[in-house]
Structure 1
Amino acid sequence: MKRARILTLVLTLLGIQLTWLIAPAYACGCGAMVPDPSARISVADEESVLRWDGRQEQIVMRLTVNGDARHAAWIMPVPHRAGVRLGDPALFDQLAKAIQPVHRTRYHFWPENGDWPFDSHDTYGDDAPRPGSAVGVVDRQRLGPFDVARLTATDPAALGDWLHAHGFSLPARLKSALQPYVDRHWEYVAVRLAPDTAGAALHGALDPIHLTFAADAPVYPMRLSRLATRPQSLGLYVLAAHRMQTRSTIGGLPPSVVFAGRLRTHDDSSLGELAAGTPYLTALTQWFPEPARISGDHELRRAAADTPVQQVIYDDRLREIAGIPAWLLTVGGVLLLAGSAVALIVVRRSRRPVIPPPPVQPPPPVSPSAPVG
């Protein structure tokens, strides 16, 4: 079951978080999946990591799916011949731990919403051909119950022939979207997917699949995602010697860096082994509100500087002194001092002796006038 789950993960290999894969086909950032006619697959979660060491690229992906498809075929274009194996599910738990936000406490003096006396009870809630043959089967292998084929193609219609020979049909839109890869002489990884249990549907969390191929520069296939009819979100971990960035937005909103920094992993864990020689981790997210505007594949390059980035989650708290809000003590203290000053003035005035007014002096007596002679 473990292997079965991983290969279905290949469905969307380079990390576009998608929502619905609807028959007859759906394209995602990493590739295209063709389920049974009239079948449906819902992708609930998708994670991927790209490792670049200067000459070789590795991609590891994990997918969680739901739906009623009992069989599916998945095609992924790659610039050179790819090796395919199963990955370790623990890798993504280790990556999530490595980029987890830092929690810090931030104090505020004046009360805010949720602090007394503004208590609030509301809660807020907040993707080598045979001569004369258009398709060459370079190699085939079994991974668990799945059939993995590595193909070369000189004509996208030939891929349709291969699918048809294995019980699937290639939609015209997807055939046209594959033409640029054919023109650039890319190869393809094609996988036939089916559950372990007969009659069961492709469902649940799948183990990761790990692809390795030579590349002249790190690239993240996105062209097929333009066939999507719903907005797409990209979530991608990039391991390299330095901080990485995309060369352009390729029709989406500017990518956001949620983490950038050197890993201190020197153990034998899955992340430690994958990061050996490429210790700088860059975690990117990007939103594509109009997938039809996607203009090509994501090319990655070294950023101008290895500036670290880490999300910080602040726990805002009201500053208190001995359990009493500091603002209340301050305001109360000021009022108390003001009241005391007023009381002191009143008391002092009440104790000041009253000086009686000076007595009224009677007018001097008038002496009688001398007789006039």
Structure 2
Amino acid sequence: MRGTHRLLTTIAALLALQLGSLVAPAYACGCGAMVTDRMARIGVDRETSAVHWDERTGTEQIVMRFTVHGDADRAAWIMPVPHRADVTLGDPALFEELERLSAPEHRDRDHFWPRGDDWPFADDDTDGAAAAPGRAGSGVGVVGRERLGPFDVARLTATDPTALSTWLHRNGFELSDRLSTELRPYVERKWEYVAVRLAPEKAGEKLYGALDPLRIAFANDRPVYPMRLSRLARTPQSLGLFVLAGHRMEPRGSIGGDRPEVLFAGTVDRPSGALAELAGTGRVFLTSVDQSFPEPARIDGDHELVRASADTPYREIVWHDRLWTVGEIPVWLITVAGGLLLLTAGTLAAIRTRRAAARERRVRAGVRSAP
């Protein structure tokens, strides 16, 4: 019965998600905004990013990997940056290494008495195209353009949000009016922009699954992770953030989402491979943060990353409870059965003792009454 209820609940959730995606395009991206033509749909299921901040040189690097869904065969993505940025392809192996380093520690924990998943309580229901440059006087400047795998990257300056909208329209994409409004604070602060056209390398393919990571580097005297444009997301968002710096780092606030949760904090003494390419070969402190945004419209700013009060290490522990057994027989069952046997044996012995004593009393009484 429980299995049937779970199945119906899962089907209902999937139907609700599918119907929600049919209503309107999902403008979703933790550090920017996905833009596509209005007849197509695209949404970001999960965004995982690595931020490396070098305090000595005042440089910040962000490597982003998106997992997307929808039926779009092309899309554009915009990310505000505080200074002029260099964009290259990232190494997918970076995230594999970071996930390995920050993986939870698994420990076994034995228990005596049976619990919900143990017999006799357990049941069978187990969980198992190149970008066109801006024209003179248009308010948009294209300061660089590169083709990186499936990405056509343009680095832009803009004097007003409408200019960005015009640039995107000329390149075949429609821009949400809400996005134009949300870009205004960045324009006022004179930030620049990384605009990316995403298109599968083979004609007819859809943008789906994990995309190749992009690496964006720029000067910055204090690390920041742009998040404000995520206000446009139509569905709940989740962010996985790896921060690499000289010390343990943490977001200054929750910026409208759930409280950021630290999943790992610790030093990496000798980085190698893709991690060394990003952060160098010297000692670096790695902090892994996870955060959910149930109501993206409440996001009110960008993540400012600040040094924690102490470089306290932390690793999540996942406990695996095991029932004590001898062979395949639970110890509690042996104990209870043995106790019952001892109790039964004791009771029988007491009965026999009482009966023997009664017989002895009757014999004695008979001897005394004999003539």
TM-score (norm 1): 0.81
- Distance apart, 1:301 and its partner CA: 0.7
> Against the structure 1 CA distance between its residues 200 and 357, is the aligned structure 2 distance closer, same or farther, given a 3 Å change threshold?
closer
Give the whole-Å Cα distance in 2 for the aligned partners of 1:335 and 1:68: 65
> How far off its partner does 1:132 sit?
5.9
SS in 2 for 1:26: coil
For 2:175 and 2:327, locate their aligned partners in 1 and report how far apart those are by CA, in whole Å.
Answer: 71
Q: 1:57-72 counterparts in 2 under 5 A?
A: 57-72=60-75
- Residues 69-118 of structure 1 show CA distances to partners (whole Å, capped at 9, x for unaligned) of 33322211001111100111111111222222222111111122232333
Unaligned regions of 5+ residues in structure 1, if any?
Answer: 1-18, 363-373
Q: CA 1:50 to 1:213, structure 2 compared with 1: closer, same or farther past 3 Å? A: same
Deviations 1:222-279 (A, max 9, x none): 1111122222222211111222111111111111112222225443x11233343462
Structure 2 residue identity aligned to 1:244: M
**Counterpart AA for 2:251:** T
| Cα 1:71–1:342 shift into 2, 3 Å | closer
Say if 1:309 and 1:22 are closer, same or farther in 2 by CA, change over 3 A: farther
The answer for the alignment partner of 2:116 in structure 1 is 113
Q: More displaced, 37-46 or 77-86? A: 37-46
- Which amino acid is 2:146 matched to? Q
1:99 aligns with 2:88: no
How many residue pairs are counted as aligned between the two chains?
A: 340
Distance 2:44 2:293 in 1: 17
Percentage of matched positions with identical amino acids: 59
> SS of 1:210's equivalent?
strand
Match of 1:5 in 2: none
> Structure 1 stretch 163-172 or stretch 89-98: which is displaced more?
163-172
Where do residues 71-150 of structure 1 align in structure 2 (5 Å cutoff)? Answer: 71-124=74-127, 134-144=139-149, 146-150=151-155
Matched, 1:234 2:239: yes
Aligned partner of 2:217 in structure 1 is 212
Q: Does the CA-based 8 Å contact 2:182-2:229 persist in structure 1?
A: yes
Deviation at 1:23? 7.0
Deviation at 1:146, TM superposition (A): 4.1
Structure with larger Rg: 1
Query: Are residues 272 and 185 of structure 1, via their aligned partners in 2, closer, same or farther at CA, if it must alter by over 3 Å?
Result: same
Report the secondary structure of 1:251's partner residue: coil
Structure 2 alignment gaps of length 5 or more? 1-19, 129-133
1:221 corresponds, among 217, 226, 250, to: 226
Secondary structure of the corresponding residue to residue 247 of structure 2: coil
TM-align CA RMSD? 2.9
Q: Quick one: which of 288, 291, 299 aligns to 1:286? A: 291
Higher helix share: 2
SS at match of 2:178: helix
Query: 1:183-223: per-residue Cα shift (whole Å, max 9, x none)?
Result: 11111111233222344433443221111111121111111
Q: For the structure 1 residues 75 and 323, does the alpha-carbon distance in structure 2 shift closer, same or farther, using more than 3 Å as the test?
A: closer
Q: 2:167 aligns with which of 156, 162, 177?
A: 162
- Are the aligned partners of 2:27 and 2:234 in contact in 1 as well (CA < 8 Å)? no
Q: Aligned in 2, Cα 1:158/1:106: closer, same or farther, shift over 3 Å?
A: same
User: Does the 8 Å CA contact 1:26/1:33 hold for their aligned counterparts?
Assistant: yes
What is the alpha-carbon distance in structure 2 between the residues aligned to residue 305 and residue 99 of structure 1?
A: 19
Partner of 1:161: helix, strand, or coil? helix
1:245 correspondence with 2:250: yes
Distance (Å, rounded) in 2 between the aligned partners of 1:35 and 1:338: 76
Contact 2:27 2:43 in 1 (8 A): no
The aligned residue for residue 17 of structure 2 is: none
| Counterpart pick for 1:312 among 317, 330, 333 | 317
